[in-house]
């Protein structure tokens, strides 16, 4: 498998085929004398911003924390994934993970309060 | 029979949804300032958009992914973020121009200043997106947009010198005011080759659940729809050339726009212009709004679809709501909509390469398009369009400074 | 001792040889399955590796040739040949001569 071509930035779907973001990061477990193990995929705004600039990612995380927004990325163990063509299926339920935190918050606090939603 | 209906609807949608404030303004200015000489720019823009729209539709139908999806997946987040920021800024300006176009139509119809219409018009656009489905927006509004065919009727009725019209379809050098000539040409190309058009088309193909079997239909719709749409733009240019150019009148204010149709249709022409402008700009405003929301949702992997309830895709709904508010604020500042229009067309031209370069890779990527890869002709055309895009990107801002009105 | 490394932050990083010179940018990571888990087998470096990542072999090779790129532009680095103790500056653990070149003959036509 080509990790960047076949995994990074691919759309993530949960076990109910609901979109839950994209693979924003890939975590390798590195140990001396052993090949690095592909351990997790990561979803989160800080993970994404770190890819542009580590400074930007840290600054954004600090600012968002002031508003009480947790930017801790969500990690899915590699073992819970299986790979389709251009999509990664995760054996999780999206609404029970932090991946949809903003979606659920907006649904409850903003969109849900507008008539006709 | 079902395929014929689908093709007919698709063409109607493309035609009805083609004209908007950018194409009207740039074509009218071209006709007023350079008579029939700049028809070639609309023809060139039309040819380019036919190829890009056809490829965007084919890509979506075969891969089940949209172009923005694939750009994030193949080119990574860094490239996507550049594309995203560029397109959102430019699209926001274009959206403000379109809302301005709706407000101009309402001001012309009622005499009430266009700034007063900014919030009501934006609210109506938002409401249609909020409550409507993709079909309502795509087909319903575009059907109404067929009123813009009145420009073609007008152009025929005004009996232009057809030999000069045909000569105008061939590129020529300006006889005067070179900087302004090329500036208008670049603006026309920016109005024609708008990234939101082909990105929206690929999102629309997914909304309409196109499959591999739609590849042929897509080719017909893209070619016919964009061709007829370009004909409407050419008709606007012809009208301006026949009405404004002989008297040396420049189009400097939107209140002059009704003069495109009044000399041909009498007082009915005023209402035809108001209806055409209002409906065309409203349709375009909805498309651009949705496209910014699609781009955001697709880029970040959120749920998206105009066919779902806003509650089921809260982030998507939130984005288009905020986008509309921001665009309305721009109109509320009182900035002249025609100036915003021309500037946004030039900016579109300046940022084209970012949106078009990925086509060359994606349309040859077997993992997406399988056996429906580009042939040598399509690849050659995309390379030429990319070359044109880079030229436009380099000259558009200098021309805005030296040749803009 | 195990540590975690963000692979996506390695993308595009210059890989340094023993003498501190850059041999190219890291553009792809190959992983292989072994007993149900995926382990990194090789890191790809260089302009040809970009084509692998973009899946752009047909068009990309033609474009690269027009731009004057050398035919064998890139390296395959085995997992044990790369030191990731500083992910901002991945370094070779061996000399460049020990690396396998990234030849276009190894990739799809």
Q: Which of A3, A34, A79 sits opposite C29 (nearest CB)?
A: A3
Mean local confidence (pLDDT), B104-133: 94
**How far is C-alpha B89 from the chain's CA centre?**
16
The alpha carbon of residue B74 is apart from the nearest alpha carbon of chain C, in Å, by 6
Q: Exposed e or buried b for every residue in B106-121, given b needs 16+ CB within 10 A?
A: bbbbeeeebeebbbeb
Cβ partners under 8 Å of residue B217, min gap 6: B3, B6, B7, B10
Contact C22/C45 with Cβ under 8 angstroms? no
Segment A80-86 shows an average pLDDT of 90
- DSSP string covering C14-43, please? EEE-TTS-EEEEEEEEEEEEETTEEEEEEE
Q: C53 and C107 in contact (C-beta within 8 Å)?
A: no
Band (pLDDT 50/70/90 cuts) for residue A72 is confident
Query: Does C107 lie at the interface with A, CB-CB under 8 angstroms?
Result: no
C53–A5: do the CB atoms touch at under 8 Å? yes
Q: What is the pLDDT of residues B183-235, one digit of tens each?
A: 999 999 988 998 988 999 999 999 999 999 999 999 999 999 999 999 999 99
- pLDDT bin (cut points 50, 70, 90) of residue A64 is confident
**Which DSSP helix (H) or strand (E) runs through C92?**
strand C91-92
3-state DSSP assignment of residue C68: coil
C-alpha B20/C-alpha B102 separation (Å) is: 10
Whole-number percent of chain B with pLDDT over 90:
72
> HSE-up of B389 (CA within 13 Å, CB side)?
23
Cβ of A37 within 8 Å of Cβ of C37? The answer is yes
Q: Using DSSP bridges, classify how beta strands A87-90 and A11-13 pair: parallel, antiparallel or unpaired.
A: parallel
- Chain B neighbors of A44, CB-CB under 8 A: none
End-to-end CA distance of chain A: 42
Q: Over the stretch C10-43, which tens digit does the pLDDT of each residue have?
A: 999 999 999 999 999 999 999 999 988 999 999 9
What letter does residue B138 receive in the DSSP assignment?
A: I
Q: Which residues partner with C82 through β-bridges?
A: C92
Closest-approach residue (CA) in chain B for A107: B314
Would the CB atoms of A8 and C39 count as touching at under 8 Å? Answer: no
The H-or-E segment that residue B152 falls in is helix B150-157
Q: Write out chain A residues lying below 8 Å of B78, CB-based.
A: 51-52
- H or E stretch covering A25: strand A25-31
User: Which of C68-73's residues contact partners 24+ apart within 8 Å by CB, and which partners?
Assistant: C71/C103, C71/C104, C72/C48, C72/C101, C72/C102, C72/C103, C72/C104, C73/C24, C73/C46, C73/C47, C73/C48, C73/C102
Measuring CA to CA, how many Å separate B120 from each of B94, B123, B335? 18, 5, 18
| Tokens of residue A97, six digits | 């993970």
Confidence tier at C63 by pLDDT (50, 70, 90): low
Burial degree of B19 (CB within 10 A; 0-12, 13-18, 19+): buried
Q: How far is C19 from chain A (nearest CA, A)?
A: 22
* Prediction ipTM score: 0.93
Q: Is the dihedral of CA B385, B386, B387, B390 positive or negative?
A: positive
Burial C22-52 (b: 16+ CB within 10 A, else e): ebbbbbbbbbeeeeeebbbbbbbbbbbbbbb
Put simply, whether B364 touches C (Cβ < 8 Å) is yes
C38:A1 CB<8 A: yes
Q: Contact A3/C41, CB-based, under 8 Å? A: no
- The count of other CB atoms within 10 Å of the CB of residue B214 is 21
d(CA B177, CA B108): 31
């Amino acid at each position: 498998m080509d990790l960047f071509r076949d995994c990074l930035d691919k759309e993530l779907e949960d076990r109910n085929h609901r979109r839950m973001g994209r693979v924003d990061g890939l975590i390798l477990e590195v140990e001396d004398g052993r090949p690095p193990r592909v351990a997790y995929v990561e979803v989160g705004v800080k993970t994404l911003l770190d890819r542009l600039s580590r400074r930007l990612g840290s600054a954004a995380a600090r600012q968002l924390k002031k508003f009480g927004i947790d930017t801790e990325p969500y990690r899915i163990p590699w073992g819970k994934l299986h790979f389709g063509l251009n999509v990664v299926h995760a054996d999780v339920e999206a609404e029970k993970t932090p991946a949809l935190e903003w979606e659920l918050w907006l649904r409850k606090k903003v969109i849900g309060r507008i008539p006709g939603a | 029979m079902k395929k014929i209906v689908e093709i007919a609807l698709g063409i109607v949608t493309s035609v009805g949804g083609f004209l908007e404030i950018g194409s009207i303004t740039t074509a009218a200015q071209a006709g007023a300032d350079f008579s029939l000489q700049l028809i070639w720019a609309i023809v060139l823009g039309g040819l380019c958009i036919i190829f890009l729209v056809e490829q965007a539709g084919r890509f979506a139908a075969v891969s089940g992914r949209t172009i923005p999806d694939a750009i994030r997946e193949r080119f990574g987040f860094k490239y996507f973020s550049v594309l995203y920021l560029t397109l959102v800024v430019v699209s926001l300006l274009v959206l403000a121009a379109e809302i301005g176009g709706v407000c101009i139509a309402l001001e012309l119809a009622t005499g009430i200043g266009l700034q007063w219409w900014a919030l009501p018009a934006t609210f109506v656009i938002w409401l249609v997106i909020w409550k409507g489905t993709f079909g309502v927006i795509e087909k319903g509004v575009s059907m109404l947009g067929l009123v813009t065919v009145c420009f073609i009727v007008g152009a025929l009725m005004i009996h232009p010198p057809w030999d000069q019209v045909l000569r105008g379809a061939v590129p020529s050098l300006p006889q005067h005011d070179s900087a302004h000539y090329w500036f208008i040409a670049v603006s026309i190309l920016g109005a024609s080759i708008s990234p939101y058009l082909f990105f929206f088309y690929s999102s629309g193909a997914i909304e309409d659940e196109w499959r591999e079997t739609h590849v042929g239909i897509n080719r017909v719709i893209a070619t016919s729809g964009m061709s007829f749409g370009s004909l409407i733009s050419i008709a606007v240019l012809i009208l301006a050339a026949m009405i404004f150019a002989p008297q040396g009148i420049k189009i400097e204010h939107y209140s002059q726009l009704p003069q495109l149709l009044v000399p041909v249709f009498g007082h009915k022409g005023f209402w035809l212009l108001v209806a055409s402008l209002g409906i065309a700009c409203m349709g375009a405003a909805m498309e651009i709004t949705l496209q910014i929301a699609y781009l955001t949702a697709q880029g970040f992997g959120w749920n998206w679809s105009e066919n779902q309830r806003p509650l089921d895709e809260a982030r998507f709904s939130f984005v288009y709501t905020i986008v509309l508010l921001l665009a309305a604020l721009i109109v509320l500042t009182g900035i002249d909509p025609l100036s915003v229009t021309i500037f946004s067309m030039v900016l579109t031209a300046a940022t084209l390469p970012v949106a078009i370069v990925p086509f060359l890779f994606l349309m040859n990527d077997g993992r997406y398009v399988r056996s429906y890869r580009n042939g040598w002709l399509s690849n050659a055309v995309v390379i030429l369009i990319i070359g044109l895009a880079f030229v436009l990107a380099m000259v558009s801002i200098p021309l805005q400074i030296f040749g803009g009105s | 001792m195990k540590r975690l490394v963000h692979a996506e932050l390695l993308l595009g990083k210059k890989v340094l040889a023993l003498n501190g010179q850059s041999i190219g940018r890291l553009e792809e990571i190959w992983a292989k399955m072994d007993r149900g888990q995926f382990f990194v087998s090789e890191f790809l470096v260089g302009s040809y590796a970009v084509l692998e990542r973009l899946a752009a072999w047909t068009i990309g090779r033609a474009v690269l040739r027009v731009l004057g790129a050398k035919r064998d532009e890139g390296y395959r680095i085995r997992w044990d040949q790369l030191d990731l103790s500083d992910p901002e500056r991945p370094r070779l653990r061996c000399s460049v001569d020990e690396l396998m070149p990234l030849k276009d003959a190894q990739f799809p036509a």
